Amino acid sequence: MKINIYYGGRGIVGDSTLFVLSKMQNALEELNVRVERINLYEMKHNITSLPSTLNDADGVILGTSVEWFGIGGYMTQFLDACWFYGNKQKISELYMCPVVISTTYGERQGAMTLQTAWDTLGGRSCNGISAYVRDSVAFELNQEYVKVIEKAAENLYRNISRKALILPASSQAVKQMVTTETPIDFTPQETEQLSKYASDDKYIQTQKEDLKELASHFKTLLKNDGMPEEEVLLNTFKNRFNPQKSFEALYLLEIDGFDEPLMLEVKNTVLTAAFERRNDQSVLCKVSKKKLEDITHGKETFQHAFMSGDMQVKGDFRMLRMLDTVFPFEKKS
């Protein structure tokens, strides 16, 4: 038999919840039960991955403190993670014992909150421990209290061993109502993998950046009537092409945000434009997408962009001066 203890307090010195959990752990280990203690405050960046630790347990103890109001954020986050990522089939087989110690007020409400949450998850709730502790030293030295704590641990052990029948709770009916949408069925392995992804800040940041890039892409498509940005840029240069007699040049424009450079090959009256890399260019220009947009809208010239340092150029500078002649972009009204 294996029982997991999840502690949702802050781990401060004098927290009587830790004392109660330690006494319960000792009592269970004397009954040859394997006990694993998980302090949620130590796992605060990976709480969403913790529901996977329920998969090899037979029962759980949820212990937390009420220092001013409610059961605290760490325990709430853990229960949220169980709802979104936990294996509901496994949770339905687990017996849970709540432990809530208050230094102000609300220990019974806290225990009820844990029981209601566990019932809503589909699990089986047992009678637990709730107490108000004003003097932690006096509480811990009271042997009668220790016996009550050990008795609660023994009752949890008996319920698990006998697979005690738990009467149905109305909160389970609530679960049916709030999950009316067709659920996506995941295997336990897939659920565990999803919970790991959800707790990986680097993975989440990468996903956000990908979504932002994708949104920008579709925004550009809408702006260009569904045409890809590359095709719009090619058409822009083709429409502004001004052939020059006996003039030949090969321009490469490396533009931020494009995988391949824009190749503009001019041979007298013929223009070949494509996004491809060549090694025989006359002029290589490096320019930002925003600056190129200013040039194609007539707000700027290639020559001025080079002189102001907004465009880097390598190659034949006489060919560079011809860029504004071959592609005369006029300011749009």
List the pLDDT tens digit at each of the 333 positions of the chain: 999 999 999 999 889 999 999 999 999 999 999 999 999 999 988 899 999 999 999 999 999 999 888 998 999 999 999 999 999 999 999 999 999 999 989 999 999 999 999 999 999 999 999 999 999 999 999 999 999 999 999 999 999 999 988 877 776 665 555 554 444 555 656 666 666 666 566 766 777 777 776 666 555 554 555 577 888 889 999 999 999 988 999 999 999 888 899 999 999 899 999 999 989 999 999 999 999 999 998 999 999 999 999 999 999 888 888 999 999 987 654
Q: Measuring CA to CA, how many Å separate 101 from each of 6, 12, 18, 154, 316? A: 14, 13, 9, 19, 80
Extract the tokens encoding 307: 């002189």
The amino acid sitting at 22 is S
Measuring CA to CA, which residue among 322, 312, 219, 206 is closest to residue 264? Answer: 322
**What domains lie within the chain, and their CATH numbers?**
2-184 (3.40.50.360), 229-326 (3.30.1050.10)
Q: Measuring CA to CA, how many Å separate 270 from each of 50, 273, 320, 326? A: 65, 10, 18, 11
Tell me the H-state helices in 224-288. 229-239
